[in-house]
Each structure stands twice: as C-alpha cells, then as structure tokens.
Amino acid sequence: MPLMSSFDNGVAAMMAYTDAMNALSQNIANLRTPGYKRTEVSFSSMVSNVGGDTSNTGGVTSRISRIVDAPGTIEKTGQPLDLALSGPGMFVYSTTVDGTGDLFYSRKGSLGGYNLDGTDTTGTSYLSAFENLYLMAWEIDQSGNVAGTTAAEMKAIPYTLRTDFPGRATTSGTLSALIPAAGATTAANELYYYDADGAQQNFRADWTNTGTNTWDLSFVDSAGAAIGTPTAVTFDGVGALVSPTSVSVGGLFTLDISQVKQLGTYFVKGAYEQNGLGKSDFIEWDVSESGIVSGKFPSGAIAPLYQLPVALFANINRLESLTGDLWAASPDSGEAEFFELGETTRVISGATELSNVELDDSFSQMIMTQRAYASAAQIIQTADEMTRTVRDLG
C-alpha cells in the first residue's frame, strides 16, 4: 500500500467516527423526547483494490440506522390525551381529514387540538400530536361495530364534539324499600326516569295498604296525573315479597321491586337505580386500552365513537426517518398493515413513551468512539512523520 494512502485510511476512519459521535450526541440530547428512536452507527472495512487501481486504498466506513422496534420508557403524565403504545406498531397520521392524503407514522401520542387552516373549512380542531397532521381512526357505528379496516376508511377525530349526547331512555329500574307492617297505611317513593328525548321526568310511587300483607302500588307524574293502573302487591307473614317481583310503570319501563320488604313500623325509602341517561354536553375524550375513543358526558354516558388503528411493518427499522419523530413507509420497510389496537398492541392513557436511548450505553459508546477517533488521528500523524522522513532522505 502506498505511503500516501495511509492518510486516506486515517481520514476515512475519522469521518466514520465523527458520524458516530454526532449520532451519540443526538441520542443523548433527545433522551426525554417523546417518540424519539435512537440512531446507531455500524462500521465496515473497505477492502483495497488489488486489481491495479490504487484509488481504492481500503479503510473504514460508517452506516447510520435508526432502531425503531426497541420500545422507550413509559412515563405517567396524568393527562388523559397523552397516549403511549405498549407493543409493536405506530399511530397513523394523515395530511387530510378523510384519510385520503399522505400517511405518516409515529409512536408520539401527546395529543392536543389543532386547527389546520386551509384544509378543514369548518374551523374544527382535531386531535393530533403534530400541528400539520391528523390522527387517524375508524368510526364506530351506532351498533358498536368498527366501520372500516383500511386507510381509505379512516377519519380524523374532532378535538371536541359539537353535538350533545342525545340521551338514552330508561328501560328498566330497581327499587328497594321497607314498607311498614303496622302503624301506617300509605308510603311514597320519589323517583325519576329519562324519556326518549333524554329529558328527566319525575314521578312518585304510592303505596296504599289494602289489607293484611297486601298493598296497591300506583304511579303518578309530577303534575299528579296517574301513570298506568295500580298493581296489587302481596307479602308473606315474615316480610318477604310474594308477587309480583316487577311492575310496568305505565308501559314506559319495567321496575324491579323484588328487594322491597314489609317490616317494622317505619317506612324506609331505600335505594333506586335506573339505566337511562340524560341529554348532556360533551366533556372530554376517554381512550381505552384497546384504542376505543369514547365521548364522556356529565350524565355519566360514555359513547364509543372511534377505534384507533396501529400500523405494523415487515421491517419497521427500515422506515424512512423524517423530522419531528415522524416516519414514512419505504420499499425496504414494506407497506403498512393496519389492525385494531388491542389485538397486538394496547394503549396506555395518561402516559407518554420517551426515547429508547440508554444513557449509560451511550456514554460508554462515546468513550470508545473518542478513543477510536484519537487512534485514527494518530495514523495521520504517524503517516505525516514518515512522509517528512522520506522527504528528508532525498
């Protein structure tokens, strides 16, 4: 090998180790960056050309790659719209509301509301972790079925719902109470139900004693008008209800009275529950482990409206790296396959995934890289001294 080629070897090595030092520095700087994936540098020896061409003199070269499949540390934040993935895959983002735009992928799930001017003409804000992209999901229909399996069927999720929860009519209720066995001939429970419009309707259940261990149960609305017709209720001699165990409240809903007892001399109203929900405004989104995005309402209603997908790749480490911890599919990674979250990966709500950088390992590699760089610099210094010696001999 010619003496001058020693300079080439040393310079090539210094350039390779400079790449490694830059990558390590970037990793350490992004130690706590949500969704960041560490950069690794591998080295390869360049074999000198033995065919007579002296331009290729060997040395070392570097190759930069991103380690995408290694998970980062999950850190709790307490913010309900901070989402972290536990398992393989990535969230799906698009440049358009309807999912027909370009698709991008990220593990970053710190969501906020963004209004993308010029893209959405309604002025609606949408959930996203990026100012210029929409988080994608499949809609859930009124029957609870996920409406879609492909990217073309995905939609953006509004940051807030403009429509109220319509309410849910009461279909059943349960009443427990103690009816006096002696000393009183009437008693009443103040109750309520929700109608088909989600409005609360108050009514009263009146108990009227008609004989030993027998009572009439009737219902009247808030204006005093009768709801349906009275029902005869009988008890045994030790307080247990004999029949009926349930009654119809004027055909509106069924009331379970099996927990009503006849005991003592005092009336105890007991507990009452019903399954209806009132019409109410939207409060916030709730995201389950399986990626179901549900609207929460003051009435206690939780309405599942969207299903988050997860994107999986044949070779996720070969995704094209973009700025801001975003990724795009490449020929080497393969196209994304979409699955419902919960099948292969679950969502941790109120948490964020930090980088997958290991600080102690990064510092160890930095020390070794610095020493290798110094050795490469020594090669150049030695070659320079040898060159001057040869020059002086002439």
Both 224 and 86 in a single domain? no
Both 293 and 377 in a single domain? no
Q: Model confidence at 51, in pLDDT bands (50, 70, 90)? A: low
Handedness of CA 103, 106, 112, 116 (dihedral sign): negative
- pLDDT at site 379: 66
Which is more confidently placed, 354 or 23? 354
Both 268 and 184 in a single domain? yes
Q: What is the pTM of this model?
A: 0.66
Number of structural domains the chain divides into:
3
pLDDT, mean of residues 250-267: 95
Residue-wise pLDDT tens digits, 93-124: 999 998 889 999 999 999 988 765 444 555 67
Both 260 and 331 in a single domain? no
Q: Which domain holds residue 250?
A: 172-274
For the chain, the three-class secondary structure string (H helix, E strand, C coil) is CCCCHHHHHHHHHHHHHHHHHHHHHHHHHCCCCCCCCCEEEEEEEECCCCCCCCCCCCEEEEEEEECCCCCCCEEECCCCCEEEEECCCEEEEECCCCCCCCEEEECCCECEEECCCCCCCCCCCEEECCCCCEEEEEEECCCCCEECCCHHHCEECECCCCCCECCECCCEEEEEEEECCCCCCEEEEEEEEECCCCCEEEEEEEEEEEECCEEEEEEEECCCCEEEEEEEEEECCCCCEEECCEEECCCCCEEEEEEEEECCCCCECCCEEECCECCECCCEEEECCCCEEEEECCCCCEEEEEECEEEECCCHHHCEEECCCEEECCCCCCCCEEEECCCCCEEEECEEECCCCCHHHHHHHHHHHHHHHHHHHHHHHHHHHHHHHHHHHC
Both 95 and 153 in a single domain? yes
- pLDDT at site 329: 95
Q: Say whether pLDDT at 50 is over 90.
A: no
- pLDDT at site 66: 75
pLDDT, mean of residues 38-42: 71
- pLDDT at site 340: 94
Both 40 and 122 in a single domain? no
- pLDDT at site 142: 74
- pLDDT at site 393: 75
- pLDDT at site 8: 61
Q: Model confidence at 240, in pLDDT bands (50, 70, 90)? A: very high
CATH number for the domain spanning 229: value is: 2.60.98.20
Q: Say whether pLDDT at 30 is over 70.
A: yes
Going from the C-alpha of 64 to that of each of 24, 177, 302, 331, the distances in angstroms are 11, 74, 47, 18
Both 376 and 389 in a single domain? yes
Both 149 and 210 in a single domain? no
Both 79 and 64 in a single domain? no
pLDDT, mean of residues 366-394: 69
Domain end: 274, 292, 320, which one? 274
Both 216 and 83 in a single domain? no
Q: Say whether pLDDT at 68 is over 90.
A: no
pLDDT, mean of residues 2-18: 64
- pLDDT at site 33: 78
- pLDDT at site 118: 47
- pLDDT at site 347: 95
Q: Say whether pLDDT at 52 is over 60.
A: no
Both 293 and 339 in a single domain? yes
Domain end: 233, 258, 274, which one? 274
Domain end: 221, 246, 274, which one? 274
Q: Say whether pLDDT at 373 is over 90.
A: no
Both 340 and 372 in a single domain? no
